[in-house]
Amino acid sequence: MLNGIVVVNKPRGVTSSDCVYKLRKILHIRKIGHAGTLDPEVNGVLPIAVGQATKLIELMHEKPKSYIGSGMFGRATDSYDLDGKTTAEEEIVTPFTSNEIIVGMKELTGKLEQVPPIYSAVRVNGKRLYEYAREHIPVERPKRKVNVYSYELTQDPEYDPLEKTESFNFAIRCSKGTYVRSLVNDLGEKLGVPAVMTSLTRTSSSGFDISQAVDLETIEAEIDSPEKWLQPIDSFFVDLPKIKLSPDQFKRVSNGAGIDLNTNYAKVALVYNGYIKAIYQRKGKIYCPETMLLKNE
């Protein structure tokens, strides 16, 4: 049985659930799930856990995500991207300088309260926001706390004198739950003009980056060589200190018991026979289980 993480390079035009469904059929495996939905028109890194790695999905969500994309000043939509209906247009007569855009981006970094787009999968009273939008039912969108670690302009903006719009490219590193579309819309509000996201690619998620991503066609063609496209479970914990267990300690860990370790780390990966068997966290003077990963099938 396969156990590990497949870093899928999701193409535009398909949903994250489509990718999971197709990979399930390719691998003939039921125990599978993705960590972090990508909108259909967003491409890039989609980590999919298979087998024992599905136990990691909640932990995978906790790691930062990175994106590159582009936006445009001069138009806004109800979805904050090009799929939505235009809600505002304004000719950009005097284009913004790089410095003006950078200042606006810096004001949108750090810990923020963000309102998700109306066309999003956030649930309110058991119903997704996009369902309210499609039925033209007004609803109060809940604010959520997010952390934007960096929001950067990646090259000088480009002004279109015929259309009187201005395009810009950006890179963002943020916490789970952050809507990049909203950050583009909010940047326009900071600068006093309509703005819309025009493209987006996720370049890293769950500790994996685009250089490790593979498309589904490659996986299907190389199905007999999983070492080429399957990231081992241990690779997810590369940043954690590793503690080798004695046979007696492993017996205790196998039963989910707390153990005393001669270390002061807040969280550790416990290794036996060359494999990570569990993630333990410190509670007082002993370490207790956080995530159990005992099988190596």
What pLDDT, on a 0 to 100 scale, did the predictor assign at position 296?
54
Q: Do 32 and 21 form a contact (C-beta atoms < 8 A)?
A: no
Q: Do 271 and 241 form a contact (C-beta atoms < 8 A)?
A: no
Show the tokens assigned to 124: 């309110």
Q: What does the alpha-carbon distance between residue 73 and residue 3 come to, in Å, rounded to a whole number?
A: 45
* Residue among 285, 297, 284, 286 at smallest CA distance from 249: 286
DSSP β-bridge partners for residue 283: 286
* Residue among 240, 241, 238, 233 at smallest CA distance from 277: 233
Q: Give the mean pLDDT of 172-199.
A: 96
Show the tokens assigned to 205: 């998620």
Using a 10 angstrom Cβ sphere, with 0-12 exposed, 13-18 middle and 19 or more buried, the burial of residue 199 is middle
Instruction: Give the CATH number of domain 237-292.
Output: 2.30.130.10
Topology of domain 4-62+206-232 in CATH is: Pseudouridine synthase (3.30.2350)
Can you tell me whether residue 163 is helix, strand or coil?
A: coil
What pLDDT, on a 0 to 100 scale, did the predictor assign at position 138?
85
DSSP secondary structure of 181-207: HHHHHHHHHHHTS-EEEEEEEEEEETT
Catalytic residue annotation: 39
* Residue among 63, 61, 60 at smallest CA distance from 231: 60
Q: Do 83 and 41 form a contact (C-beta atoms < 8 A)?
A: yes
Q: What does the alpha-carbon distance between residue 65 and residue 67 come to, in Å, rounded to a whole number?
A: 7
Number of residues that make up the chain: 297
What pLDDT, on a 0 to 100 scale, did the predictor assign at position 297?
43
What pLDDT, on a 0 to 100 scale, did the predictor assign at position 245?
95
Q: What is the pTM of this model?
A: 0.90
Helices (H), the chain: 16-27, 57-62, 98-106, 129-134, 180-191, 216-221, 247-254
What is the distance, to the nearest Å, from the Cα of residue 173 to the centroid of all Cα atoms in its chain?
10
**Residue spans per domain, the chain:** 4-62+206-232, 65-205, 237-292
Could you tell me which residue, 73 or 238, shows the higher pLDDT?
73
% of the chain with per-residue pLDDT over 90: 83
Q: Do 215 and 254 form a contact (C-beta atoms < 8 A)?
A: no
Reported as a single tens digit per residue, the pLDDT across 254-283 is 999 999 998 999 999 999 999 999 999 999
Which stretch of DSSP H or E encloses residue 46?
strand 43-50
pLDDT(42) > 60: yes
Q: What are phi and psi of 4, to 5 degrees?
A: 160, -165
Instruction: Give the CATH number of domain 65-205.
Output: 3.30.2350.10
**CATH topology identical between 4-62+206-232 and 65-205:** yes
